[in-house]
Structure 1
Amino acid sequence: MEYPLGPVPWALATPDGMPMKTNKAVLMQKLEDVSALQIPAKERNHVHIIGGNALFHAQTHLPETFGELAYNIFCALPKVANVHFITDNYQEHSIKSLERIRRGESQAYIVRGSSTKLPRECKSFLKNDDNKKHFIQFLLNEWQQDAYAKLLLNREVIFASDNDTADGETTDARLLQNLSSSHEEADTLLILHSIYADQAINSTDTDIIIRSPDTDEFLLLIAFCQKYTHPIYLDTALKFHCLRANYQTLIWKQADIAQPDIPDSKDHGWKTDGNGVLSIHWCTDLVPQELADILSESHTTRQQESVYDDDIESDVDSDAESQNFSDSETSEEEEESG
């Protein structure tokens, strides 16, 4: 039992040398089963801490240019007074390199400015670390343009990227030295920023809401819960369900009013597609990004195999037709010779 009798320990790795992956979401469900459900009161103040990488992947209807994409991402931020926008840092010789290799890599794509066209395969674009680093820096630069001044009115957006953190109450961002960090993953940076936000809150009527689809974040929050003095909530699909329930209740409560003041449904758990058709917004991410990458790669592989098979069949048919034509010519020549 001392040796794995193979190139890797089979219980911990796959035959190609990659770490074995497990479904951590099952653990989150078990913890939810033994926890009391609490929903943050709407009338209280909220500080939102957002995982930027998840927000990138949540963009479904992509525009034509990077400038438009930057605007869409900014508009997707919660419309509250204080938002922390957290992204991964990309370091050389990282222990995350194997995971990134497993997801696949793509070619470099230079973002020269806001008018640069998005590549056709945006998911593939985000598989290149240099692409992501340049795109994140582009976002920070773009959000400091004068066009965003009105959007930043009475708001503070704290932007964490590349080991630095910029505080943007106006389009002139300033570095926050106490949030400059060498952490590589947004998971741990979200914890650092949530503790910073907790210590910076002076009032007792403020909650901290963390938006992340990652189970790791949920477990880290449990581990660090003793460090917080204000309530911490992890934003999941329950948020959209509560928004829809409150929206319907608002309509019912105004049944005695001829012209009730009904807000836009798109801000309360519904969304519209490219054709303007309204549908339920169930959650930000349908599946973990790792699974989405696997399914996408599998679908692409099947398409390529299908095209290859079609080409083979076409070649076989072409050869058969050529052979038949050749046989026909031979028969005609024999008849003439006879």
Structure 2
Amino acid sequence: MGSSPKPTKLPCCITSVLEDITPIDLAPKDALFIQDGMALLHILTNMPPTFGEICLQILDQMVAKKHFLFSTDSYHPQSIKAQERERRGKSEKIIVDGPSTRKPGDFKQFLANDDNKKQLCQLLFRVWSDQRAASRLEKTDMAVLIVEGRAHKLTSSNGKVEAHKIHTIYSNQEETDTRVVLYLHHAAAIGYKDAVVRTPDTGVFVILLYHAHEIKLNVYLDTGSGKHRRLINVTEFAESLGKNYCAALLGYYVWSGEDCTSAFKGKGKVGPLKKLQTNPKFQEAFARLGDEWSIHHEVDESLEQFACVMYGHSRELSVNTVRGKMLCKMVGEDEKLTAKSKVDLARLPPCRAALQPHNKRVNHRVALYKRAHIAIVEKPKPYDEGQGWMRNAKDLLEPIWPSKPILPASLIDLLVAIDPKDKETEDEEDMEVDEVDFDAMFESDEEL
């Protein structure tokens, strides 16, 4: 990473960064408080019986901040996030007729359906714009509600509420995670000196670190809960890390596994990040992720080499070569891989045919994050060539699976055909041995 100043203390992993920073006791006076709305909805307690009262309960929490911006996510069909939510499963749709509709018994299950969340967000705007909210909003100096990417400044006078559209921060970005950077730039433009972002999401932290150098105000992160709640000066910490390292950290965070990209099974983030910290070449590669919508060939090669380093083979350039060496060591010299072999194939690195689409998906996600300051982002579809996803028969997004053999030819000699008679004998004796799971040679998109 060349000229960037080396920080005095680098984080061991993304989440442990927060443990290494001295928290601040109080937010600066008159700071704009930016609330990740969906995160708050998921931790609500002691909720009243109707949706209208729940909306007012949330407003009461926001009014206490005096200057607030409450942002909810958008829900785009056939998006990457929609694909991820579909994979996790969804709950039954419930019709929210209005403020008097009673809350279901399982509120978290209610939030597991995109249509339910859309209805609740729309109801928030309806209730906060109603006369019942007027006396509450009179206590605020700045109240902004964002629903489906559209921002409204809410003002109250003479018992009435008026909603004024803020066109400059209308965004087609789907998540608050990315839109929050746009909101921070807006806050600086209208005169705020400080802003506090309230969210439990680690992804928001690394996005803020990347953008903090260009945001013309002091950014604080409010995270955790109870005795673990802390306020972090993101601007100060980003300056100590340096701009280039923050860019590398963002790329590494997504590459090593986040909401919509796979993780490397059994590797975590701590050990590999320590290796990254000592190698400027790999820092440069991770920092370049997302600069363009298509991953550069040199970056792709460097990430493959880093995967080799991560699996303990720093002199190798090919993950397929590393897979071969590791499998030979697992099986043993002059041995064959059979159904009786007690070998955990998931410990192998992904094959190149799996790693390359993963790198493309990572590049797409990082590209979105690096453009978080842009209101309307012109971007390729996830299923466009070079982005790492495809549409299946049901017209849903799914990761591109390897089209080439997942087992290189050099490993074929390790395999031995299983005699059907042997298999029958095993079944009869009910032998308690682990069968070789060749599907584990390529894991699902949850873990590479």
TM-score, normalization by structure 1: 0.59
Residue identity matched to 1:32:
L
Tell whether 2:180 aligns with 1:190: yes
Deviation string 1:287-316 (CA, Å, 9 cap, x unpaired) is xxx9xxxxxxxxxxxxxxxxxxxxxxxxxx
Q: Which moved more, 1:74-83 or 1:44-53?
A: 74-83
The verdict on how the C-alpha distance between 1:42 and 1:186 changes in structure 2, with shifts beyond 3 A counting, is: closer
Does residue 87 in structure 1 map to residue 77 in structure 2?
A: no
Helix, strand or coil at the partner of 1:31 = helix
Residue 155 of structure 2 corresponds to 169
Structure 1 residues 62 and 236: alpha-carbon distance in aligned structure 2, compared to 1, 3 A threshold: same
Given the alignment, which residue of 21, 24, 27 partners 2:13? 27
Name 1:68's counterpart in structure 2: 53
State whether residues 27 and 196 of structure 2, in contact with CA within 8 Å, keep that contact through their aligned partners in structure 1. no
Q: Aligned pair 1:180/2:165, yes or no?
A: no
Residue in 2 that maps onto 1:220: 207
Alignment of 1:124 with 2:109, yes or no, is: yes
| 1:265-284 equivalent positions in 2, closer than 5 A | none
Q: Does 1:112 align with 2:112?
A: no
Q: Which amino acid is 2:127 matched to?
A: E
Please tell me whether the aligned partners of residues 39 and 199 of structure 2 are also in contact (alpha carbons under 8 angstroms).
Answer: yes
Cα deviation for residue 34 of structure 1 reads 5.5
Q: Which runs of 5+ in 1 are unaligned?
A: 1-24, 244-289, 291-338
CA offsets per residue over residues 205-255 of structure 1, 9 Å max, x none? x42100000000000010001122221110023885689xxxxxxxxxxxx
Q: 2:133 aligns with which of 128, 133, 148?
A: 148
Q: 1:78 to 1:146 in 2, by over 3 A?
A: closer
Residue 117 (structure 1) shift = 0.8
The range that moved more, 209-218 or 40-49, is: 40-49
Find the aligned partners of 1:26 and 1:72 in 2 and give their Cα distance: 39
Secondary structure at the counterpart of residue 89 of structure 1? coil
State the SS of the aligned residue for 1:113.
Answer: coil
Decide whether aligned partners of structure 1 residues 153 and 59 sit closer, same or farther in structure 2, where only a CA change above 3 A counts: same
Q: Shift of residue 33 of structure 1?
A: 5.4
- Residue 256 of structure 2 corresponds to which residue in structure 1? none
Partner of 1:159: 145
Q: Secondary structure at the match of 1:74?
A: helix
CA separation of 1:29 and 1:106: change in aligned 2, threshold 3 A: closer
2:219 alignment partner AA: I
Give the residue type in structure 2 aligned to 1:85: F
Residues 123-158 of structure 1, C-alpha deviations (whole Å, 9 max, x = no match): 111111111111100010001111111111142211
What is the rounded CA distance, in whole Å, between the counterparts of 2:198 and 2:87 in structure 1? 26
Q: Is the 8 A contact 1:209 1:234 kept in 2?
A: yes
Is the Cα–Cα contact under 8 Å of residues 211 and 234 in structure 1 kept in the other structure? yes
CA RMSD of aligned residues (A): 2.4
1:230 maps onto 2:230 in alignment: no
Contact 2:34/2:195 (8 A) holds in 1? yes
Structure 1 residues 41, 113: closer, same or farther in 2, change over 3 A? closer
Superposed displacement of residue 194, structure 1: 1.4
4+ aligned runs moved over 6 Å, structure 1: none
Contact 1:40–1:233 (8 Å) recurs in 2 = no
**1:207 corresponds to which of 186, 194, 198:** 194
Q: Secondary structure at the match of 1:68?
A: helix
Task: Figure out how many residues of one structure are paired with residues of the other and give that number.
Answer: 216
Preserved contact between residue 37 and residue 70 of structure 2 (Cα < 8 Å): yes
Cα deviation code 1:184-214 (max 9, x no counterpart): 0110111111121122125xxx421000000
In 1, are the aligned partners of 2:92 and 2:113 still within 8 Å (CA)? yes
**Partner Cα distance (2:91, 2:226) in 1:** 35
Instruction: Give the number of the structure whose alpha-carbon radius of gyration is greater.
Output: 1
- 2:50–2:101 contact (8 Å) kept in structure 1: yes
In structure 1, what is the Cα distance between the partners aligned to 2:197 and 2:28? 18
Q: Is the 8 A contact 1:48 1:78 kept in 2?
A: no
Report how far residue 106 of structure 1 moved: 1.5
Provide TM-score, normalisation by structure 2: 0.45
Matches within 5 A, 1:24-63: 27-32=13-18, 35=21, 37=22, 39=24, 41=26, 44-63=29-48
Say whether the 8 Å CA contact 1:47–1:207 is kept in structure 2. Answer: yes
Change over 3 Å in CA distance of 1:152–1:26 after alignment to 2: farther
Alpha-carbon distance in 2 for matches of 1:43, 1:90: 33
1-structure distance, mates of 2:136, 2:27: 22
